[in-house]
Amino acid sequence: MAQELKFQNKNILVTGGAGFIGSHLCEQLLRDGHRVICVDNLSTGDASNINALLQNTNFRFIRLDINQPFDLESHGELAAFKLPFQGIQQIYHLACPTSIKNFDQFKIQTLLSNSLGNHHVLELAKKYRARVLLASSSVVYGERADKTALVQETDMGVVNHLTPRACYDEGKRFSETMFETYRQVHGLDIRIARIFRTYGPRMPLFDGQLIPDFVLNALDGSDLVMNGGLDFSTSLAFVTDVIDGITRIMGAPEYPGPVNLGSDVNLKLVDVAQMIIDMTESSSKIVEGESFAFLSELALPRIDRAKELGWFPLVRLEDGLRRTVEYMKANRLLLTNV
């Protein structure tokens, strides 16, 4: 049997790499010394998230839609990565539209990303025998049935496949099925990360994501709008913790099955909003807002399996919010004039 080639500096593909989580992941992989190929169609990602990376000789950005067939070796800008010889060692598959206020606009893209897009990425992984990680979601467990219960990876959620948001929720369940089927049929080395609500710098503004809009409105002294209702509660994990979890799952010697990544602490968003008001010394008030199909109370994770990989969310809420506020202050004019 031919011995598998080992490369100290891996060629790593990140789909959806210009998005909120994807851009932070690209940064970390570059810090770890790897060569990173970032692909994104910029439907909900933003090129400004990766501007600082473009001068790095180990980074390449290619604007393409994974829902369409693509051949990375046809892109001349990747010549230095020597794909025909080295191939790709790892693929982080994050590409899928995520938008709260504009969810309806991306329904077909979401449907295709969770089917055709997966197929193209999995076939690429099969071609290069790359380890491939799916960024799945807590939505696979369905809406929260109990305020106190935590869900573990062996729990089977209930998802209505005909709701206005089913293309995402049921789509993520089908995505997991696709990845698991490729593992069973082709022996592909897959990983599945079920990511719970995440916050931090580079979250999209004016999209109903709550935290970035809370900060911006607090800085402006305008009302903090509680979309989802004043009783809305959730868990929040800081983005750097989630990146640490994703890379640990990818690097695990054996596939442990899907892994929950998120905080298991339940938070009332009205309390988080008040923390931001206090932190910014703002005169803003908290008011009730709209309800959106893509904004609902989801289950909280049991994270025992992640702990077995040495992972635990380390960033305190106060520290994460402070870092988010500092980012918004430093980039306020740029963020509000895009």
Mean pLDDT along residues 260-270: 94
pLDDT in tens, 50-74: 999 999 999 999 999 999 999 999 9
pLDDT in tens, 135-147: 999 999 988 777 6
* pLDDT number for residue 56: 97
Phi, psi of 92 (to 5 degrees): -100, 115
Mean pLDDT along residues 327-338: 71
Q: Which of the following is catalytic: 128, 141, 168, 199?
A: 168
* pLDDT number for residue 277: 96
Q: How high is the mean pLDDT of the chain?
A: 91
* pLDDT number for residue 1: 34
Is a pLDDT exceeding 60 seen at residue 310? yes
> pLDDT band for position 333 (50/70/90)?
low
* pLDDT number for residue 294: 56
The Cβ of residue 312 has, within 10 Å, a number of other Cβ atoms equal to 13
User: Is-catalytic flag, 327?
Assistant: no
> pLDDT band for position 195 (50/70/90)?
very high
> pLDDT band for position 26 (50/70/90)?
very high
pLDDT in tens, 215-237: 999 999 999 988 777 788 889 99
CATH of 11-199+236-263+296-314, one of 3.40.190.10, 3.40.50.720, 3.40.50.1370, 3.10.105.10: 3.40.50.720
Give SS3 for 315.
coil
* pLDDT number for residue 90: 98
State the Cα–Cα distance between residues 159 and 168, nearest whole angstrom: 11
Give SS3 for 40.
strand
Give SS3 for 214.
helix
Domain ranges, ordered by start, for the chain: 11-199+236-263+296-314
Mean pLDDT along residues 78-95: 97
288 compared with 295, residue with greater pLDDT = 288
HEC per residue, 3-37: CCCCCCCCEEEEECCCCHHHHHHHHHHHHCCCEEE
* pLDDT number for residue 263: 95
* pLDDT number for residue 131: 98
Predicted structure pTM score:
0.93
* pLDDT number for residue 3: 44
Q: What DSSP string runs through 253-282?
A: SS--S-EEES----EEHHHHHHHHHHHHT-
Using a pLDDT cut of 90, give the percent of the chain over it: 74
